[in-house]
């Protein structure tokens, strides 16, 4: 694990930082294939409401923070929402601040999720944009691509790859 990084379960106090990192990640990592109009309309307030609702429900969050206690990455998972897949759980998010990429933080966050599921012997799925430059991360961690589907973003539809790990 990366030196100076600590990991813990997400709390309500983390929601604004989670929402901010999600929006920054989308604008940085997906600008080449998601319409700018969609990215420009990402709302911090809506993301705060969304993650507040998820955290109050059955969605579990893990947080990575630096020595200053600033959030540098997070992941969330919960009940599978992908009808085409028969997994028990779905990885909803996994984002790491750009300057912390390739330091093992994303892998560590994923390991917390997998360890959490191991005791229940549950499978995990994830939907990843086909053009996502980081999709290889999932195959490196043992996920197998099973199919593809279109994700409706309003004015455009994007191809997503569906992965599962048993």
Domains and CATH numbers, the chain: 6-122 (3.40.630.30)
Instruction: Give CA–CA dist 130/162, Å, rounded.
Output: 9
pLDDT at 1 > cutoff 60: no
Instruction: Taking the CA atoms of 113, 79, 129 and 18 in sequence, report the sign of the dihedral they define.
Output: negative
Q: Give 30's Cβ-side CA count (13 Å radius).
A: 24
In this predicted model, which residue has the larger pLDDT, 2 or 124?
A: 124
Q: Convert the pLDDT of each residue in 56-74 to its tens digit.
A: 999 999 999 999 999 999 9
Check residue 103 and give its pLDDT: 92
Q: Which residue has the tokens 């709390």?
A: 11
Taking residues 115-128, report their average pLDDT. 87
Which residues 6+ apart lie within 8 Å of 42 measured at CB? 23, 26, 27
Are the CB atoms for 94 and 39 separated by under 8 Å?
A: no
Q: Convert the pLDDT of each residue in 88-97 to its tens digit.
A: 999 999 999 9
Q: Where are the beta strands (DSSP E) in the chain?
A: 6-9, 60-65, 71-79, 89-96, 124-129, 144-152, 157-165
Q: Convert the pLDDT of each residue in 10-50 to its tens digit.
A: 999 999 999 999 999 999 999 999 989 899 999 999 999 99
Instruction: Give CA–CA dist 85/145, Å, rounded.
Output: 11
Q: What are phi and psi of 154, to 5 degrees?
A: 95, -95
Instruction: Taking the CA atoms of 134, 137, 143 and 144 in sequence, report the sign of the dihedral they define.
Output: positive
Q: Give 69's Cβ-side CA count (13 Å radius).
A: 3
């Amino acid at each position: 694990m990366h030196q100076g990084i600590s990991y813990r379960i997400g709390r309500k106090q983390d929601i604004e930082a989670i929402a901010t990192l999600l929006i920054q990640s989308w604008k940085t990592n997906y600008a080449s294939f998601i319409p700018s109009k969609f990215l420009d309309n990402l709302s911090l307030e809506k993301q705060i409401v969304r993650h507040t609702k998820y955290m109050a429900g059955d969605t579990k969050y893990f947080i990575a923070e630096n020595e200053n206690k600033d959030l540098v990455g997070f992941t969330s998972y919960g009940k599978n929402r992908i009808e085409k897949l028969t997994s028990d759980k779905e990885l909803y998010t996994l984002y790491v601040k750009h300057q912390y990429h390739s330091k093992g933080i994303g892998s560590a966050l994923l390991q917390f999720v997998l360890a959490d599921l191991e005791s229940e012997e549950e499978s995990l799925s994830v939907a990843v944009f086909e053009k996502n430059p980081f999709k290889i991360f999932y195959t490196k961690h043992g996920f197998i691509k099973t199919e593809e589907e279109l994700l409706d973003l309003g004015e455009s539809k994007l191809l997503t790859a569906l992965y599962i790990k048993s």
